[in-house]
Chains A and B, each alone.
Chain A
Amino acid sequence: MDSTRFSRVARPGEAALSLLVFCLIACFLLFVTIPVASLFLRITPEAFLSSLQQPAVVDALRLSLVTASVSTAVVVLLGTPLSYVNARVRYRGREIVDTLTDLPIVLPPAVAGIALLMAFGRRGVVGEFLDGLGITVAFTTLAVILAQIFVASPFYIRQARASFEAVDQLYEDAARTLGASRLAVLLRVSIPIARSGLVSGAILSFARALGEFGATIMFAGNFQGRTQTMPLAIYTTMQGDLNDAISIAIVLVVISFAVILAVKYTTRRTA
């Protein structure tokens, strides 16, 4: 079977090269896995379970899950029409809209935090007006959600646009000629076909919202149960009980793995 691959024997340098490439790959994989594994090695199961019952940890878990769910729902609600229009309609300024929606991906979270504060803070451009109406945004749970929407929206919108572009326009045209309205085509044809892409985009967006730290601590502050999400709780509890910080980190590692698996599963099913 191997008779045609005589080159293997002829080139002694190749074995060394393979070995070297193997070593480089192994080095990198160890570099990535050792820190994550270290989290699990630095804490006993008993300490982990007792940390999970600490009020600060419970509050952070609940707040994170609630805010990330709400912000993902808002991103899907606002981002689906936008990404569909940008996938299907050619209009002047489409490039500008695309650039603006991508901006939060490259913007450092600290910039997002101070920008949101300048806009929605009590003396901010919009916040001053809202304050007059008795609405406070900064340093509330609402601020946590706004920060998450800001940083996480591009993950959904990019994926959604690509998924809508991949829908064969023939199906949509066929539905139209059969008398379906534009809205019915979107809801009954385009979205069902693009579904797996939309779902994986929403999952990625949820994961980014869950991990948001910089913009949140600057714009929403740090208050247990109200604005202290899991990443902020890691930062805060690390100054008190390191076990609590490690336990929250482990929960986030597990969620991250679940996210990767979920995205792989949803995208593989249609591929």
Chain B
Amino acid sequence: MRSHDKVTLLVPLLLIAVMLAVAGCTGTTQPTGGQTTLTVFTAASLTGAFSGIGETYMAENPDVVVDCVFDGSQALRTQIEQGASPDIFVSANVKHMGALQGGGFMENDTVTVFLENSLAVIVPAENPANVTSLADLARPGVRLVIGTKDVPFGSYTRQVLDTMAADPAYGAAYRDAVMENVISEETAITTVMPKLTLGEADAAFVYKSDVRPEDRSLVRRIEVPAEYNVVAEYPLGILASSEQKAEAAAFIAFVRGPTGNAILESYGFDPVQ
């Protein structure tokens, strides 16, 4: 009888072992029914616009689920290099897209620049530090938030400040004083806005498209003149590993079509044809 007990104990243990082995082999689950799920790795600065585009597209195409993953372009690139396999990658700068193209991760002839963006400074609506011009950013005590040097909006910020430093009207001392006021370097645009609306920061360098329609009462925008500003080019393309290239191409055509462009423009982007 005792050995029977052992056998009855063995069966569930073996089952667990088998389940573990099976779980190790099949990592992903297939979508049910006839639905296609398109995974779109999207630069965080497009969070609002691509959520809108995704919803509109799904409403028009009930058999497609658009699953947007938003993060800093650099973080998304690292994830793809480390094995993540979305269908589409939308980057906030050409550098990260170029690196993936060079590494053979992209279907290179699908990669195009589809919109442009540039930087602006935003301040909370009540403007506690009374920042009304770019010159005010250098005033001691102004709490400024920018991106890290590796994320696109952070590297563009440094470019803008370098261009201003080269102009005698501002000078190198201006750039150094502004950098001295930085209290935090963010890795994605999405963590900047809460710091302003909570009143922890007095100003931030962001994309001019980052002021979402619903945030327009919370923050005020200070323009960066064109002579100092950068033109940020956003490329998008289909991953070489995508198994749904036709569906992905259809979604990209929608993004670049009139409906997609209208949504992008409502967020302050400049679509490129």
Chain B 132-154 interface residues, beta-carbon cutoff 8 Å to A = 143, 145, 148-151
- Write the B1-20 contact mask toward A (1 if CB under 8 angstroms, else 0): 01100110110011011001
B116 interface contact, C-beta 8 A: no
Query: Which of B41-49, B70-78, B245-253, B256-264 forms contacts with chain A?
Result: B70-78
B25: chain A residues within 8 A (beta carbon)? none
Q: Are B148 and A121 in contact (CB under 8 A)?
A: no
Chain A residues within 8 Å of chain B by Cβ, number: 28
Contact of A13 with B184 at beta-carbon distance under 8 Å, contacts A139-B143, A236-B148, A240-B150 already known: no
- Size bracket, chain B contacts: 20 to 34
Complex Cα spacing A13 to B198, Å: 65
Complex Cα spacing A255 to B149, Å: 29
Complex Cα spacing A165 to B183, Å: 45
Neighbour of B13 across the interface among A20, A27, A117, CB < 8 A = A20
Minimal beta-carbon separation of A230 from chain B (angstroms): 16
B268 interface contact, C-beta 8 A: no
Q: Are A239 and B74 in contact (CB under 8 A)?
A: yes
Q: Are B183 and A11 in contact (CB under 8 A)?
A: no
Neighbour of A20 across the interface among B10, B78, B187, CB < 8 A = B10
B176 interface contact, C-beta 8 A: no
Q: Are A17 and B6 in contact (CB under 8 A)?
A: yes
A171 interface contact, C-beta 8 A: no
Query: Which of A200-208, A218-226, A260-268 forms contacts with chain B?
Result: A218-226
Complex Cα spacing A9 to B118, Å: 79
B13: chain A residues within 8 A (beta carbon)? 17, 20, 24
B78: chain A residues within 8 A (beta carbon)? 238-239, 242
Q: Give the nearest-CB partner of B24 in chain A.
A: A27
B223 interface contact, C-beta 8 A: no
- Write the B160-190 contact mask toward A (1 if CB under 8 angstroms, else 0): 0000000000000000000000111111000
B98 interface contact, C-beta 8 A: no
Residues of A within 8 A of B (CB): 11-14, 16-17, 20, 23-24, 27, 117, 121-123, 138-139, 221-224, 227-228, 235-236, 238-240, 242
Please name 15 further chain A to chain B contacts, defined as beta carbons within 8 Å, in addition to the given A222-B184, A238-B78, A239-B74, sorted by A numbering.
Answer: A13-B3, A13-B6, A17-B10, A20-B14, A117-B200, A123-B199, A123-B200, A221-B184, A221-B185, A228-B185, A236-B187, A238-B75, A239-B75, A239-B187, A242-B78
